[in-house]
C-alpha cells in the first residue's frame, strides 16, 4: 500500500526544517574554518617571526653561509655570502651550484672549489675544513668549513658550507713565523760557534784540560745544547703550523734508524745506570719515511724515557710489522702518567706537575711535534701509562717494499779531496774547516758569493758547502750561478743554513742539506757519502717532446750528471747499447718504437739489463 502524500503545508514545514538544519551545519563548518584559519595565521606569524629571527641571527654572523641540496641546488644563502662575493640572493637561490659561473672570477682555483663542493654535497656524515683563496671582489684567505644538515626526522637536507675570513689571522701567523725565523737566525749563529768550539775544547783540540775546566765546559755545552733544542722546537712548531715542513720520503730501514738513535743516546743512559734493550726482528720491512724526521721522532721518545726513568730503570724498544704498518714501542719503567696527564700530553707546552718533571728541563713541545711528524707520515701515536708503573709510547709508520741501500766508500779513498767552505761568519767557517781538516780534507774558505764563484772556477773543488745567508747575495742565487756555469756545474753543493731551504735548494741542484748548528760527526757523515758517490754516471733521457727532454736533461746536468738524449725508442736502444748509461729515463709514448718496446729490448739484452 503506497504512502499518502503529505499535505502541502506540512511538506513546506519539513523543507524549511531541513534548510535550517543545513544552514546551521554550514555555519558550524564556517566557524570551524574561521577558527582553523585564525590558528594557521597565528602559527604562520609565529613561524615567520622565528624565521625572521633566525635569518637576522644568521645575517648578523661574520661568516658567509650557503646551503646546498644533495642534488646540487642552492637552497639558501645569508647576507654575508652575497656581500663576500658581490652576488644578489635572487641570482643565487634556486640555481644549480655547478651552473653558477660567477665563481670563475671569485676564486683563485674555481675548478678545485667546484670539484670539492660537488664531491661532498651528497655526503651525509663527514665534516671538513679547507683554506681557499678569494681574488674578487677583494683578495681574501678563507677558511671553508662544511657540515651535513638533517631534519628533525633524520632526513638529509644537504650540506652547509661556511666561509670565514682568516686573512688577518694567517698574516699574523706569517709574521710570527718570520719573527721566529729571524730570532732563530740571530741565536743560531753565535750558538753554532759556541757549541762547536766547546766541543773542540772538550775533545782536547787545544790541549789537555784539568777536571775543573772540563766540568765548566761541560756545563756550557749542556746549556748550549738546551738552547739549540729549544730553537729547533720553536722552528718546527712554526713550520708545522704554517704547513712548511716537507717530508723527503725514502725507503727507510727503520731497524737501522732505531739502532743508530739508541747508539747515540746509550752513553747517557748507561751513565744514569739505566738498561737499554732492543727487541727488533731481523726481517723488519722498510718504511716510507723522512730519515731525519724519523730520527727526530725516535730521539724525542727515547730522550723522554731516559729523562723520566729513575737510575736503575729499564728502557725497551721493540718493533714489529702489523699489516701495512711497522709499529715501534718505547717502553720505560719511569714515573708514569695519570689519565688526566695523558689527556693533555700532546698539547703544546704541557708538562706533568710532579717533582721529577720539575727537576728535568724541557719546553713541553717535544711530544706535540712528535705527534705532528708521525701523523704527517700517515701513522699514529698512542701512550699507555699508569702512575708509578712506567709508560709505553707507540707509533706506526707505513710499510713500503724494498730495503734502504746506502753506497759508501772507505774513508781513506776520500782523504785529500778538496772542499770549498762558503760562509759569511768567519768563526763558523773556521769551525767547519777544522772539522774537515781533521778528517783529512783540503779546505778553501770564501766569505761572500763573488769570492766563492771565483774560487770554484779556479780551484775546481770536489765539494762546496754553502751557507744560505751571504752579504752580497743569497746562497740560492749563488747556487744557481754555479749550476749554470759549465766550469762549475758538476761540483756537488751541500747547503748549510739556519733556515729550512732544502726543497728550493735541491730543485736548483744542491745534493744535500744540513741545518745549523751542525755536529762534526753529522757533517762528516754527509760529506763522506756525497764524495763517495760517483756523480759522473751517464743518464739517458728518451722523449719525443724536445721541450720536455731539454727540461729534464737540463735539471740533471745542473745536478752534476752527464746526460745523453734520444728522441725515440730506437735511438734510446742504440745509445743504451753503445754508451751503457747508469740510468735510463724513457717516455712510454714515442713514435716508431715506443718506450715499452724499448724497455723489453733493453731487459732482454744482458749488456743493458741492469
Summarised one tens digit per residue, pLDDT across range 187-228 is 877 888 888 888 889 888 888 999 899 999 988 888 888 788
Residue 121 has pLDDT above 70, yes or no: yes
- Which class for 491: exposed (0-12), middle (13-18), buried (19 or more C-beta within 10 A)? buried
The reported pLDDT for the residue numbered 408 is 38
Q: What are phi and psi of 153, to 5 degrees?
A: -85, 5
| pLDDT tens column, 161-190 | 999 999 998 888 778 777 877 777 778 778
List C-alpha distances in Å: 266 to 10, 87, 278, 299: 122, 66, 11, 11
Structure-model confidence comparison of residues 87 and 352, the more confident one: 87
d(CA 608, CA 581): 9
Percent with pLDDT over 90 in the chain: 27
Residue 499 has pLDDT above 90, yes or no: no
Q: What is the mean pLDDT of residues 143-164?
A: 91
The reported pLDDT for the residue numbered 210 is 92
Cβ atoms of 567 and 549 within 8 Å: the answer is yes
Confidence of residue 500 (pLDDT cuts 50, 70, 90): low
Going through 34-178 in order, the beta strands assigned E by DSSP cover 64-68, 74-77, 128-134, 140-150, 156-165
Peptide bond into 137 cis (omega under 30): yes
The reported pLDDT for the residue numbered 536 is 47
Residue with grid cell 535550517, as numbered in its chain: 20
Give bridge partners of residue 467 from the DSSP assignment: 496
Q: To the nearest whole number, what is the mean pLDDT of the chain? A: 83
| pLDDT tens column, 445-468 | 999 999 999 999 999 999 999 998
Q: Which helix (H) or strand (E) holds 79?
A: helix 79-85
Structure-model confidence comparison of residues 6 and 572, the more confident one: 572
Residue 409 has pLDDT above 70, yes or no: no
Question: Which of 345-349, 559-563, 566-570 shows the highest mean pLDDT?
Answer: 566-570
Residue 292 has pLDDT above 90, yes or no: no
d(CA 66, CA 136): 18
Confidence of residue 48 (pLDDT cuts 50, 70, 90): low
Residue 556 has pLDDT above 60, yes or no: yes
Q: What is the mean pLDDT of residues 67-77?
A: 92
Q: What are phi and psi of 493, to 5 degrees?
A: -120, 125
Structure-model confidence comparison of residues 329 and 39, the more confident one: 329
The reported pLDDT for the residue numbered 559 is 65
Confidence of residue 483 (pLDDT cuts 50, 70, 90): confident
Q: What is the mean pLDDT of residues 18-45?
A: 77
The three cell numbers locating residue 607: 749488456
pTM given for the model = 0.49
Residue 275 has pLDDT above 90, yes or no: yes
The three cell numbers locating residue 72: 646540487
Torsion of CA 563, 567, 568, 570, to 10 degrees: -60
The reported pLDDT for the residue numbered 533 is 62
Residue 328 has pLDDT above 90, yes or no: yes
Amino acid at each position: 500500500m503506497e504512502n499518502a502524500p503529505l499535505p502541502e503545508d506540512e511538506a513546506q514545514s519539513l523543507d524549511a526544517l531541513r534548510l535550517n538544519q543545513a544552514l546551521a551545519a554550514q555555519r558550524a563548518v564556517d566557524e570551524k574554518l574561521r577558527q582553523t584559519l585564525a590558528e594557521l595565521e597565528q602559527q604562520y606569524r609565529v613561524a615567520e617571526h622565528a624565521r625572521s629571527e633566525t635569518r637576522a641571527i644568521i645575517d648578523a654572523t661574520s661568516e658567509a653561509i650557503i646551503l646546498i641540496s644533495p642534488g646540487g641546488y642552492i637552497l639558501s644563502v645569508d647576507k654575508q655570502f652575497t656581500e663576500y662575493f658581490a652576488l644578489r640572493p635572487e641570482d643565487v637561490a634556486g640555481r644549480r651550484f655547478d651552473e653558477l659561473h660567477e665563481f670563475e672570477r671569485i676564486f683563485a682555483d674555481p675548478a678545485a672549489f667546484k670539484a670539492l663542493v660537488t664531491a661532498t654535497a651528497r655526503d651525509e656524515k663527514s665534516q671538513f675544513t679547507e683554506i681557499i683563496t678569494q681574488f674578487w671582489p677583494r683578495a681574501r684567505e678563507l677558511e671553508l668549513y662544511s657540515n651535513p644538515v638533517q631534519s628533525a626526522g633524520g632526513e638529509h637536507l644537504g650540506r652547509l658550507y661556511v666561509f670565514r675570513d682568516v686573512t688577518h689571522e694567517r698574516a699574523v701567523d706569517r709574521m710570527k713565523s718570520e719573527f721566529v725565523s729571524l730570532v732563530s737566525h740571530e741565536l743560531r749563529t753565535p750558538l753554532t760557534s759556541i757549541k762547536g768550539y766547546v766541543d773542540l775544547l772538550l775533545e782536547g783540540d787545544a790541549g789537555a784540560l784539568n777536571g775543573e775546566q772540563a766540568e765548566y765546559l761541560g756545563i756550557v755545552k749542556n746549556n748550549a745544547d738546551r738552547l739549540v733544542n729549544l730553537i729547533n722546537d720553536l722552528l718546527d712548531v712554526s713550520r708545522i703550523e704554517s704547513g712548511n715542513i716537507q717530508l723527503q720520503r725514502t725507503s727507510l730501514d727503520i731497524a737501522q734508524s732505531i739502532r743508530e738513535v739508541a747508539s747515540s743516546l746509550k752513553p747517557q743512559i748507561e751513565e744514569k745506570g739505566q738498561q737499554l734493550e732492543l727487541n727488533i726482528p731481523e726481517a723488519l720491512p722498510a718504511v716510507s719515511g723522512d730519515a731525519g724526521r724519523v730520527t727526530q721522532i725516535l730521539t724525542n721518545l727515547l730522550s723522554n724515557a731516559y729523562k723520566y726513568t729513575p737510575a736503575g730503570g729499564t728502557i725497551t724498544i721493540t718493533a714489529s710489522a702489523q699489516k701495512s704498518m711497522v709499529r715501534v714501542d718505547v717502553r720505560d719503567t719511569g714515573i708514569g702518567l695519570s689519565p688526566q696527564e695523558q689527556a693533555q700530553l700532546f698539547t703544546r707546552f704541557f708538562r706533568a706537575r710532579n717533582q721529577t718533571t720539575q727537576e728535568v728541563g724541557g719546553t713541553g713541545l717535544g711530544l706535540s711535534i712528535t705527534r705532528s711528524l708521525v701523523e704527517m707520515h700517515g701513522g699514529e701515536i698512542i701512550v699507555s701509562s699508569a702512575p708509578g708503573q712506567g709508560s709505553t709510547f707507540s707509533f706506526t709508520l707505513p710499510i713500503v717494499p724494498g730495503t734502504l741501500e746506502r753506497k759508501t766508500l772507505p774513508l781513506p779513498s776520500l782523504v785529500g779531496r778538496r772542499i770549498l767552505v762558503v760562509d759569511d761568519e768567519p768563526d763558523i767557517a773556521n769551525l767547519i774547516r777544522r772539522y774537515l781538516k781533521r778528517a783529512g780534507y783540503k779546505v778553501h774558505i770564501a766569505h761572500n758569493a763573488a769570492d766563492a764563484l771565483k774560487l770554484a772556477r779556479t780551484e775546481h773543488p770536489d765539494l762546496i758547502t754553502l751557507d744560505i745567508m751571504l752579504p752580497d747575495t743569497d746562497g740560492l742565487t749563488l747556487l744557481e750561478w754555479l749550476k749554470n756555469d759549465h766550469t762549475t756545474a758538476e761540483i756537488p753543493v751541500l747547503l748549510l743554513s739556519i733556515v729550512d731551504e732544502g726543497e728550493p735548494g735541491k730543485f736548483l741542484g744542491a745534493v744535500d742539506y744540513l741545518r745549523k748548528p751542525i755536529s762534526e760527526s753529522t757533517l762528516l757523515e754527509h760529506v763522506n757519502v756525497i764524495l763517495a758517490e760517483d756523480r759522473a754516471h751517464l743518464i739517458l733521457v728518451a722523449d719525443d717532446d724536445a721541450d720536455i727532454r731539454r727540461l729534464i736533461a737540463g735539471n740533471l746536468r745542473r745536478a752534476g750528471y752527464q746526460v745523453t738524449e734520444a728522441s725515440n725508442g730506437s735511438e734510446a736502444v742504440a745509445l743504451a747499447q753503445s754508451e751503457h748509461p747508469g740510468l735510463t729515463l724513457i717516455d712510454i709514448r714515442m713514435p716508431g718504437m715506443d718506450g715499452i718496446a724499448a724497455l723489453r729490448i733493453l731487459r732482454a739484452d744482458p749488456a743493458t739489463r741492469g
